[in-house]
Amino acid sequence: MPDGARHSSTILTAIGVRVRAARKMHRLSRKALAVRSGVSERHLAQLETGAGNISILLLHRVAAALGVRLADLVAEPKIVNDTRKAKRVALIGLRGAGKSTLGQCAARELGVPFAKMNERIAADAGLSPAEIFALYGEDGYRRFEARTLAGTADRSEPVILTIGGGIVSKPATYELLLTRFHTVWLRATPEEHMARVLAQGDERPMSGDPQALDALRDILDSRITQYGRADATIDTAHRSVDDCARELTETVRNWLAG
C-alpha cells in the first residue's frame, strides 16, 4: 500500500475507534445513534470499522449526537514505535475506575513495580498534592505532573503506573503519556465511579453539590474521546475485581515481557 493510502487508512481507523468508544460509553446502539445523528446505520458501520470515508458534514452530525468535539474525532493519530514505550504501562480514567486496585493486582501477578503518579509528584515536589494545589493551583500541579511524567518516561525500569484522570486537560502532557507509555483506560458508569469513591470513605464528590452525579457525567462525557485514544480499554462496570484484574494482567503481559 502506498504511504499516502496507508496514512489515510490509519486516520480513518482512528476516527472509527473514537466514534465507537463514545457510542459505547453513552450505551447507544448503532441504530439509536443513527436516529440521533441522522446518519444511516450503514454509514456508521463503515465509519466505525474504518472502511468508509464519511463527509465532514456527516461526521460533524455524529460528533454533535455524541456530545464530543469534531476536532477530537479527527485528531491525527500518533504513529509511534512501541520500543519508545518500553515496559511502561499507564492506567488512566476517572477516580473510582479501579486503577490502584487492579494495577496492584496486575503488578503483583507479573512481578513488576507499581506506582502512583500523585505520589511521585509529591516526592519530586517535596509537597503533598493538596499542598501543591493550595500553593500553585491546578495549573501548577499540571506543571509538576508534566515534569514528573517526563522523568518517569526516561527511566528504563518497567512499571505499572496510575495516572490522575485530569491529565487529558493538558494536551502536551497527554501526548507524552500516549507516546511513551502503553495506556489502558479503565472505564465504568458515572454511578459506579461515584459509588466506589463513596465506599472508600471519600465523601468529597457529594460535598455541597446535590448535582454531583450530573457533574461527573459531564466530566466523563467531555473526556470520552481522549480516554478512548488509549491502547486498550477495559470496562470494569458490574464486574468483580478478580475478573477485571485477570483481563488487565493479560492485556499488559506482552508489553511487560522480555
**Residue 162 belongs to domain with CATH number:** 3.40.50.300
For residues 16 and 73, give the distance between their C-alpha atoms in angstroms, rounded to a whole number. Answer: 8
Distances (CA, A) of 107 to 53, 144, 154, 184, 203: 41, 25, 20, 14, 29
Task: Give the range of the structural domain holding residue 209, as residue numbers without chain letter.
Answer: 82-256
Domain count for the chain, please give it.
2
Same domain membership, residue 109 and residue 41: no
Residue 100: is its pLDDT beyond 90?
Answer: yes
Last-in-domain residue among 38, 58, 74: 74
- pLDDT top residue among 203 and 215: 215
Same structural domain, 158 and 92: yes
Lowest mean pLDDT among 65-79, 92-106, 149-163, 174-188: 65-79
Res 21: pLDDT: 78
Q: Which of 52, 74, 96 is the last residue of a domain?
A: 74
- Whether 209 shows a pLDDT value over 90: the answer reads no
Give the model's pLDDT for residue 193. 81
Same domain, 165 and 188: yes
228 pLDDT above the threshold of 50:
yes
* Segment 57-78, tens digit of pLDDT: 889 999 999 888 888 888 766 5
Q: Which is more confidently placed, 217 or 129?
A: 129
Share of the chain above pLDDT 90, in %: 49
Residue matched to cell numbers 488487565: 248
